[in-house]
Structure 1
Amino acid sequence: LYIHFPREFPNGKPLELIQQARAAGDPKGDVALARYYLLTGQFENHTDEIEGLCAPIAEAQPECFQLLARVYLVDGRSEDLKALVDRAKQAWEQGSIEDRDLYLFARWLSDDETPQKQVAATNELYQMLTPDYVPALTARAKLIMENNYLAEPEVVIEMLREARANGDLKASLSLARAYERGRIVPTDPKKAIEYAMEAREKYPSAEYLLGRIYKRGYLGEPDPEKAKQHLLTAARRGFPKADYALAELYWEAKGIEVNRVYAWSFALLAVEGGVERAKELMVDMVLSLPEHTEKRAEALYRQERAARRQMIAGGTSGPATTTKQGG
């Protein structure tokens, strides 16, 4: 907590707690120290120490596979990285690490935060896990969609359908995206909606996808009312791209009445959620936004934000009820 939220705990002393754990003989203290170096920007200055901490305990503390891989990538030690991947395979085959441990290591190897993506290694590890470990089916399909030289599109769709048949709603979401975007299969908005409807309860991004389909009129004509419903649900479930889409919807007003108050307040929420495009939209908006409108929008933004926080604190997943925004 202290490492991840330093502003919340300005007087926290995570290093002291880590040293206490290590002194007590807890191997998780060694992992925590390596993580401390990573999260405080000291990783590259401590690669030798991190290797010494993690190499002896990787099977017992599988997070160490990721940390060791980062060490080898940072230091350009390709042979050591290959040996580490082989070690992870052997550990999994012998039952020393679980399916999920190998899956998380495989996913990290080609993740955006990896110093240098190892797509081939990720693909190989996913293949070992499939078809028995269903999340690896969906993850491999996604990997192939992003790196289409790995397999033909038909293979991707078949894997996703198999994962979906095994109850993986992430596969339904991936199928919805595939049919909405039309990159590896012909665009089919009806199929995209069908699959997104399956995934919407678990994944707010499925609600966003539904909103985008209706907003852009992929079924023939835009349906701004349906778009608004789905986008607002996604936004209130923590998907900030939906706030941006709502700001755009109310600003462009294609099929609905222009509402500058809503547009500005949703843009503020999108910026707070880290959507950079929202800043550009606000630059366009501010030129024609009267000061009194801006003040009303900021008040509504604060009201909506407070309602969402209250909703999260209460553990509910439905729309906030203490705000009229978007209604």
Structure 2
Amino acid sequence: MRLISFALLTFLAAPVAHAAPTQEDVAAARLAYIEGDYDAALKVIQEGAEAGNAMALNILGAASLDGRGVAQDTDKAIEFFERAAKAGEVRGYFNLGTLFLEGSPPVEQDRARATREFQSAADQGYAPAMTALGRLQETAEPPNHKAAADWYEKGHKAGDVVGTTNLAHAYVQGIGRNENWIKARVLYTEAAARGYPRAFNDLGVIHEEGYGVHMDQLTAYSFFLQAVNAGYPKAGKNIAELILKARFPWSSKHAALGYCIWAVRTAPDAEKASFQEDCEALVTEINPDAAMRERAERFADQL
């Protein structure tokens, strides 16, 4: 009996091994992390990463790069992304490509490394990487627009909505593809059907200017409005200018000014100055008094 008791005590005193989080656990933690519940999410994600889970390693890379829930550390981010990629997470390659394309102190921009990482992801069929390779070709010195459009088409066929929209733009511009407004409209419509904000905006431009379709300011307004509702700043500026040009009976100058104010507020930092300049020109044209400015501000607050 004493032997049995001793064995039982020994068993109870032994450390209990915890099972590593399952893929479902990590996926749920990823959603919690996206929602901002960092503490609870990162506990599961870190345990998953320690066990070699590729998704968890990739999330830790993103967390380290952004400094959300953990200290910002670009070198650690690279390490986690590399480990994730080696463990089979294709987005690890893509995130490495994005990091080296943009640069993140103390890591400088490295387009050659970015190209290699995007290529590794594209080789595994990852559509956004194909589009990214197209963007690299388009922004090269000198640019290779034909190669860019080829990659956009690959991205489009693989299901990337940005690739679809960029390919449409190539047809609009006649750069990298022969100008073809019908193909462009079909591609923009496909991207818009998937909810891509820029596609709504560009369809608005097509209908406002009559590119390959009958000029239709009402349809243009509808597309710009959908882009605004989807949070696309440039559409705010475009709809403001259209309101003044078309003189719609249901809209007004204060609404035009409100859309422009919203566009400036929501524009990326790198583009704010350009948006501000365009809206100042609109203000000069409208010449609003204090009451109209106040109504426009309230209108912008509601968007």
Fold conserved (TM > 0.5)?
yes
Deviations 1:260-315 (A, max 9, x none): 1221110121122126234224433445213333333333333x33xxxxxxxxxx
Contact 2:90 2:124 in 1 (8 A): no
CA 1:255–1:181: 2 relative to 1, 3 Å: farther
Within a 5 Å distance, the mapping from 1:121-160 to structure 2 comes to: 121-135=113-127, 136-147=129-140, 149=142, 152-160=144-152
**Alignment partners' CA distance in 2, 1:36 and 1:188:** 41
Three-state SS of the structure 2 residue aligned to 1:110 is: helix
CA 1:265–1:186: 2 relative to 1, 3 Å: same
Please say if 1:172 is aligned against 2:164: yes
1:218 deviates by: 2.6
Which residue in 1 is equivalent to 2:297? 298
Quote the RMSD (CA, aligned, Å).
4.0
1:37 deviates by: 9.1
1:129 deviates by: 3.2
For residue 219 of structure 2, what is the amino acid of its counterpart? K
Contact 1:224 1:256 in 2 (8 A): no
**Alignment partners' CA distance in 2, 1:37 and 1:212:** 35
Please say if 1:280 is aligned against 2:271: no
Unaligned regions of 5+ residues in structure 1, if any?
1-8, 66-87, 306-327
Please say if 1:224 is aligned against 2:223: no
Contact 1:179 1:192 in 2 (8 A): yes
**Alignment partners' CA distance in 2, 1:215 and 1:279:** 23
Please say if 1:104 is aligned against 2:95: yes
**Alignment partners' CA distance in 1, 2:103 and 2:219:** 33
> How many residues in Structure 1 have an aligned counterpart in Structure 2?
248
**Alignment partners' CA distance in 2, 1:236 and 1:112:** 32
Unaligned regions of 5+ residues in structure 2, if any?
1-35, 51-55
**Alignment partners' CA distance in 2, 1:141 and 1:101:** 19
1:239 deviates by: 0.9
1:125 deviates by: 2.4
Which residue in 2 is equivalent to 1:210? 203
Stretch of structure 1 that moved more, 261-270 or 137-146? 137-146
Three-state SS of the structure 1 residue aligned to 2:201 is: helix
> Considering only CA atoms, is the larger Rg found in Structure 1 or Structure 2?
2
Within a 5 Å distance, the mapping from 1:5-24 to structure 2 comes to: none
Stretch of structure 1 that moved more, 174-183 or 230-239? 174-183
Q: TM-score, normalising length from structure 2?
A: 0.65
Q: TM-score, normalising length from structure 1?
A: 0.61
Within a 5 Å distance, the mapping from 1:305-316 to structure 2 comes to: 305=303
For residue 194 of structure 1, what is the amino acid of its counterpart? V
Percent of aligned pairs with the same residue?
20
